[in-house]
Amino acid sequence: MYLMIDDDILTLEEVAKYLRVSERTVYDCAQKGEIPAGKIRTAWRFKKSEIDKWVNEKLTANKLNPQINQLQADAFLSLHRILFLNHTSKNDTLLTLAENLAAAPQVKNRQELTTEILKREELMSTAIGCGIAIPHVRLSSVTDLVVSVGISRTNIIDFHPLDEEPVRLVFMIAAAHNQHAYYLQTLSWFSTRLKNRELRESLLQTKTEQEVYDLLVK
């Protein structure tokens, strides 16, 4: 006689593939208790039904969690962190924005920021479609979340977004390692705001840093 198991039991690798994230992300979430999981000896295991419920809650978080809409963009945006770009390559774009972001007082290690931004991009493109990319990292050498904005006058042709639309708007985010929730809220804030086609088109038409800033913080 044996016990019937109603739920499929997934490994860490299977959950990462199912959620389309890195295995490290799933491991970190499990370690912090942010995702439903349990250990069998030293191995993490997950119930698929609980993962599905957790995902549904996360996907509706914008409606259920008003904090996302209450983020104050002027807390992480500044005129000094807004650039107009003329690069056609992803690498040149990332290097220019990383250099700008590293000049912020919140960033204590310029080389680490640049290295980790490029490493993150090698793992998976941060282009999210609609001509937007959001490269992002969390580092112990960053003391508080900060953003650098790039408005490109030319198409950046090698971000390889799923919709194949060349990237023109780049938002680089660096956060402290202990700012996980704030970091996710900021990513969500940008992706939600930038679904607005009128806003994207307006950003591309801007001529000054002040115009960009006003559009994003209003």
Give the CATH number of the domain where residue 202 resides: 3.40.930.10
Q: Is residue 141 part of a domain?
A: yes
Alpha helices in 65-166 (DSSP H): 90-102, 110-123
Q: Is residue 65 part of a domain?
A: no
Q: Is residue 68 part of a domain?
A: no
- Residue written as token pair 């290097």: 95
Residues 136 and 187: beta-carbon distance below 8 Å: yes
Q: What's the domain count of the chain?
A: 2
What was the pLDDT predicted at 19? 83
What was the pLDDT predicted at 165? 92
pLDDT in tens, the chain (218 residues): 333 334 588 898 888 888 877 888 888 888 778 888 888 878 899 988 888 888 877 766 544 444 445 577 888 899 999 999 999 999 999 999 999 999 999 999 999 999 999 999 998 889 999 999 999 999 999 999 999 999 999 999 999 888 889 999 999 999 998 898 888 889 888 988 898 999 999 999 999 999 999 999 87
- Looking at the fold, whether 30 and 78 belong to one and the same domain comes out as no
**Which residue segment(s) compose the domain that 149 sits in?**
73-217
